[in-house]
Amino acid sequence: MVYFQKMTPQGYKLIEEEIKNLKKSRPIKIKALQEARSLGDLSENSEYTEAKKELRHLESRLRYLDKQLKYAEIITPNDDKKVDLGKKVKLRFEDDETSDTYEIVGRLEADLEAGKISFDSPLGVAIMKKEAGSCVTVEAPAGSYEVTIEEVL
């Protein structure tokens, strides 16, 4: 069974950009490894060990990101007034009467500090496909709480 990774078009572009930047740094890492190798005894050459480790990390990250793009399912939001991937939503947290606006994004794009929550996080699951005015209970690991969807942007 193939599992597709849902993401926004912006998230897809960010991954493409990271791949491009990693590929640019690859020749530099290879050159550093070659220079470290030329220093002599590899068993006691910390520069060689470090350069090899950095190149391995870069290659691993590239494979991971390539796989994310290969199995990406890009979701573009429609205008049906329901919470969905790629849309912004203004929420009121009922326990402390505060409001915040979040963008609903794919798992890899989630960044709470930037106001981006994953569609499959406890909050994301609770509000997905709901309309403005809906009050929902969020079942989170630390306990449940209620939020009201004030606006779907």
Q: Write the pLDDT tens digit of every residue in 27-77.
A: 999 999 898 888 777 677 788 889 999 999 999 999 999 999 999 999 988
Alpha carbon distance 135, 126 (integer Å): 10
DSSP string, 35-65: HHHTTS-GGG-HHHHHHHHHHHHHHHHHHHH
Q: Beta partners for 7? A: 74
In the chain, % of residues over pLDDT 70: 98
For 54, the token pair is 């950095």
Q: Which helix (H) or strand (E) holds 18?
A: helix 9-37
pLDDT averaged over every residue in the chain: 93
Is the pTM here over 0.85, yes or no?
no
Return the residue matching tokens 């794919």.
Answer: 106
Q: In this structure, what DSSP letter does residue 131 have?
A: B
88-152 is classed in which CATH architecture?
Roll (3.10)
Provide the 3-class DSSP secondary structure of residue 145: strand
Rounded to the nearest angstrom, the gap between the alpha carbon of residue 58 and the centroid of all alpha carbons in its chain is: 18
5-74 CATH choice from 2.60.40.1170, 3.20.20.70, 1.10.540.10, 1.10.287.180: 1.10.287.180
Under the banding of pLDDT at 50, 70 and 90, the label for residue 2 is low
